[in-house]
Amino acid sequence: MIDRYAPPDLRALWSDEARVELWLQVELAVCQARADLGEIAPPEMAALKRATPPSLTRLRELEAEQGHDLAAFVSAVQEQLGPEGRLLHLGLTSQDVVDTTLALQLRRVAEILAQDLARLDQALADLALRHRGTPMMGRTHGMHAEPLTFGFVMANHLDELRRAAERLRAATAEVVVGKVSGTVGTHATVSPEVERLALAGLGLPAAAITTQVVARDRHAFFLCALALVGASCERLATTLRHLQRTEVGEVEEPFAARQKGSSAMPHKRNPIRLEQVCGLSRLLRGWAVAGLEDVALWHERDISHSSVERVALPDATMALGHMVRTLTSVLGGLEVDREAMLANVERRGGLARSQQVLLALLGRGQQREEAYRLVQRLAHEADHEGGDFRAGCLASPELSRLLTAADIEEALALDRYLGGIDASFHRLGLLPATSDEAGDPPAQGKS
């Protein structure tokens, strides 16, 4: 991943230096397990423990000659050890070390991503609560539908994000397993007891059964879970991008004092960070597909998955970390124009509240088709002839035969659309289960 989208803490976990340190940690864990079982003498184990991660320069020299990175690593460590070096990598295959190391890396990466997602969760929850009573237009097909609140919209995204985070937790539990079972997984050269002790020392569960590798459906699930988190982030970013469009003008992502939105047009304040989130989500979906392609390896293993994982797993986790942190930052500084939101709600005299007028007519006994056509005509007159829906309803002789002016005003009251919103906040745990608080009153200005 290029530096632009690579959080430094995640990049460090995927660095060559970090990988080599973990390779040595795994090798020594296996040696310690053998020592615990009496297969390696204490003086020999003490000598093995003096090994240090070899330099990347030496590793690259040996890899250029041997054509195998893990074999080069074993040779480089054995150079330090003398006679005891023969006990390193004893009975192991490369993937015993590589797959177990990958599990250790993914465990730590997933811990960091979980922390990032918790911060995004909090930012969304805060925004949802702050604006749970801020009226705005709900939109379907990109068109005005009926009023809701900005907080309700954010709460909906929060609910989705929590499901995505839970999927990532489940996928992490599946992928964070080790294996020390030999060339085809049968423990022919390394006992199950050595595997148990070695992995226990590393804090990893053992895969129940393996070939030469841990099955790649686990890694595919993990990449798909990352992609689903990314898709949820993208949906949120897309919502906010639409609300920032000039014609809508209801929110703006943070914009620094000396920031430039365009090299040519000084007036521009583009949602570039939200657009970045959407773009990176496309990459996550591509890596998920690559992970699915890795599942069907030949027999007990081929190497076609290796080149994919060297790119897909580091880059996908770094990209998602960048996306989540970017979204959290945007939400923390998001400008919400409550006046613009309310103006859209009140457009054409509350035009988008037509359903309540329809329901009022049905409640007075009018047939649905007749009532629908009457309200539809009044709505179209207001929308396409520059009129006012409320005024049109109050002036309509057809409506007045069944509804009083007070009935019409009651039908068009905004509270009729917002009164049930707190139920969803209770279900999400954003409000106490016993709370009977009403939504906040409509507010003005920006926040």
Asked about 262 being catalytic, the answer comes back as yes
Among the listed residues 15, 262, 304, 307, the single catalytic one is: 262
Alpha-carbon distances, residue 279 vs 275, 285, 289, 291, 298 (angstroms): 6, 11, 16, 19, 34
| Phi/psi of residue 67, nearest 5 degrees | 70, 25
Asked about 400 being catalytic, the answer comes back as no
Half-sphere exposure of 38 (CA within 13 A, CB side): 0
Among the listed residues 141, 267, 299, 384, the single catalytic one is: 141
- Cα(189)–Cα(17) distance, rounded to whole angstroms? 29
Q: Which residues does the annotation mark as catalytic?
A: 141, 262
